[in-house]
Amino acid sequence: MSSGSELWFEEILEKENGHTFKIKIDNLIERVDSKFQRIEVYETVPFGRMLVIDGVIMCTEWDEYAYHEMIAHVPMFTHRNPENVLVIGGGDGGTIREVLRHPEARRVDICEIDGEVVRLSKKHLPTMSSSFDDPRVRLYTEDGAKYMKEHPSTYDVIIVDSSDPIGPAVVLFSEGFYVDMKNALRDDGIIATQCESFFYHSDIVERITGYAKKHFAVPGYYYTVVPTYPSGIIGFCFASKKYHYKKDFRPERVSPMQGQLKYYTPEVHGAAFTLPAFIGNRIKL
C-alpha cells in the first residue's frame, strides 16, 4: 500500500482485534501466484529483502537467523548423531543452511510442496537459498505429509518449517501428522516444528504440545525472538523418542560452530525452554 509518495507493506495480524504490522518498502521485486498461494519478494527499507506468502511475512534478511538457527540447532545438537535429516517446508533454504553446518549431517532431504517458493528464493534470497547447491541436499517438490508416510524409520531429525495453519499447511498441525513423523523417525529420533506465538496462538500451542506429550517420550516447547513476526516471538514444538533437550545436550559440541552463529548459543539452548507462567502453566510440560 502507499502513503503519499511512500510505499508500505502491511501485514494484518489479527483483523478482529485491530493488530497490524507495517514495513516501509522500496519496491515489490516479484510477485507470483502459484497453484497453492501468492508469493511476493519485497525490497524493504529497514530489513533488506522480505519473503511474503499470502500476505504473511515468512522471513526478512535482517532477522531470519533468529528463527532458522533455533529451529535447526536445538534438535540437531540434542541428537547424538543426526546423519539423516528431513525438512518439511522451508523453501527459502534458511533451515537447511543451518542443518548443513553440522558435519554429522550426511543426507538432508527437503520436501517443499510449492516449487515456486524455492525458485523465487534461489533468485532473490541467495544468503539462504545457496544451501540448495550442497550435494547432501535432495529437494522434493511434493506433499510432505504424504512423503513421510512412505519413509518409515528413516530419519534422525525431522524439522517442520511451515507457514501458519492455513491452506496447504493445515495438515502439518494435525495429530495424524505427528504420528506419521514419529513413524518416520528412527528409534532415537527428534522432531522440531514451527508452533506459533504463545501470545497470539496459545490454543494451537496447547493442542500441538498435547500431541507431543501423547506420542513422544520427551515433549517440549521453546521459543525465539524474531522482531518481524507477530508479537516478536515464535515458538517450536520439540518432541523426542529418547534424548532430552537439556539432560542429553552437550554444550561442547557447539564450540566449533560458535563463530558462524548470530543467535544460538549453548546458554540460549537451555533458556529457550523456560516459559512465562501463563503458557507454562497451561501446557504443563
The dihedral region occupied by 158, where left means phi > 0, alpha psi between -120 and 50, and beta the remainder, is beta
123 and 261 in a single domain? The answer is: yes
Summarize pLDDT for 206-248 with one digit per residue, the tens: 999 999 999 999 999 999 999 999 899 999 999 999 999 999 9
Element (H, E) at 152: none
Task: For residue 197, give the DSSP letter.
Answer: -
91 and 185 in a single domain? The answer is: yes
Active site residue 161: yes
Last residue of a domain, one of 40, 60, 80: 60
> Does 37 score more than 80 pLDDT?
yes
Q: What is the CATH number of the domain that holds 10?
A: 2.30.140.10
47 and 72 in a single domain? The answer is: no
Q: Where do runs of H (alpha helix) occur along 14-88?
A: 64-78
105 and 8 in a single domain? The answer is: no
31 and 86 in a single domain? The answer is: no
156 and 42 in a single domain? The answer is: no
From the centroid of its chain, how far is CA 174?
17
122 and 23 in a single domain? The answer is: no
| Model pTM score | 0.95
**Cα atoms in the Cβ-side hemisphere of radius 13 Å centred on 164:** 18
Q: What is the 3-state secondary structure (H, E, C) of 80-126?
A: CCCCEEEEEECCCCHHHHHHCCCCCCCEEEEECCCHHHHHHHHHHCH
Greater confidence (258 vs 66) lies with 66
Domain range for 161 is 64-283
From the list 156, 161, 164, 180, the catalytic residue is: 161
Summarize pLDDT for 179-216 with one digit per residue, the tens: 999 999 999 999 999 999 999 999 999 999 999 999 99
Element (H, E) at 40: strand 38-44
- Mean pLDDT over 30-44 rounds to 97
Q: What is the CATH number of the domain that holds 123?
A: 3.40.50.150
169 and 235 in a single domain? The answer is: yes
